[in-house]
Amino acid sequence: MNDLIEKIIPKAKGKKVVIAEGWDERVLRATKEIVDENMCSIILLGTEKEIVEKSKKIKLDIQKIKIIDWKNSQQKKTFAKELYELRKTKGMTEKDAEKLIEDGNYFGAIMVKRGDADALCGSCICPTADLLRPALQIFKTKKNGSLVNEVMIWEDTQTKKIYFTTDSSLNANPDAEQLAQMAVNAASCARSFGCTPKVALLSFSTKGSGQNECVSHIAHAVELAKKKEPQLIIDGEFQLDAAVNPDACKRKSPHSSLKGDANVLVFPDLNSGNIFAHGMVQFSRLKWLFSSMQGIGKPVSIYGRSSDYHLIKNQTIVAASEAE
């Protein structure tokens, strides 16, 4: 187990995580290890018959785990009313709420909102948007926050260096203010894991080497981030090699405070961030350890449909730890 996960396990203990797709075999394998090692409590959404049958195959003791068949739950009407009250100013009707609460992602989000669970996990079967939509609608942003972004945490398997990247899931075409907030959020995430953030805002250009309207706002985002956090080590716009390679940085931007040692990488748009993330998983020595959703009102963890149970386990532990 990675050292970062070891550090946060104590924060996860005693917390309750609701998993919106509790019948998935990867979820059950992850749940078995979490429960056996007493890391946190798990609530699985799904039919008891299906979960019990699949659990027997992996010798998971169901007695230690709460199962809620949300589609037949007596709480559905109550939850639907609460959802309606939360969203009626946005045009939601009572019938809309009754229909949406049939979705396990909405049901789980209301559980967390009520305090019946501390964190919400899911999206190992459904698309990311299906989990994030109810989470953002119900949890909203943190106080004094204006933007939610996912930070992925990676380990270089050769050097053991840790990297934090954003955003691969949410913000399609962030403007300068949004990029600045993404950078600040990601830096905060790095600190929460005991790392000193050195932030690079990425581009195809390094400090003006490429003149194009699609990068002109990136340098402005750096200035906005500095205003938010004057002590933050941050620079941009930077090509990836100049951000993480000292020799490339000397050649392309010798006076940069980053010195080719960035560990927080902010992508200019969702296309580049998402392609990078999937590319690294498939081809590189970088290992995706887990991700963290920054700026949201309650802890949410996206599993990802191609994730194995090891990653699902990590994501669940992180979500539990963030409930602190």
Structure tokens at 173: 């075409």
pLDDT above 70 as % of the chain:
99
Phi, psi of 202 (to 5 degrees): -90, 155
Query: What confidence tens digit (pLDDT) does each residue in 65-103 have?
Result: 999 999 999 999 999 999 999 999 999 999 999 999 999
- Fold match flag (3-140+297-322 vs 149-286): yes
Q: How far is it, in rounded angstroms, from Cα 52 to Cα 179?
A: 45
Report the distance separating Cα 204 and Cα 202, nearest Å.
Answer: 7
Rounded to whole angstroms, the Cα distance separating 135 from 314 reads: 20
SS3 291: strand
Confidence of residue 3 (pLDDT cuts 50, 70, 90): confident
Residue type, 300: V
Report the top-level CATH class of 3-140+297-322.
alpha beta
| Alpha-carbon span 42 to 44, nearest angstrom | 6
Give me the residue spans of the domains in the chain.
3-140+297-322, 149-286
Label residue 145 by pLDDT band (50, 70, 90).
low
Show the tokens assigned to 89: 């100013």
Backbone angles phi, psi at 123, to 5 degrees: 70, 40
Length of the chain: 324
Q: What is the pTM of this model?
A: 0.91
Could you tell me which CATH number the domain at 149-286 has?
3.40.50.10750
pLDDT of residue 242: 97
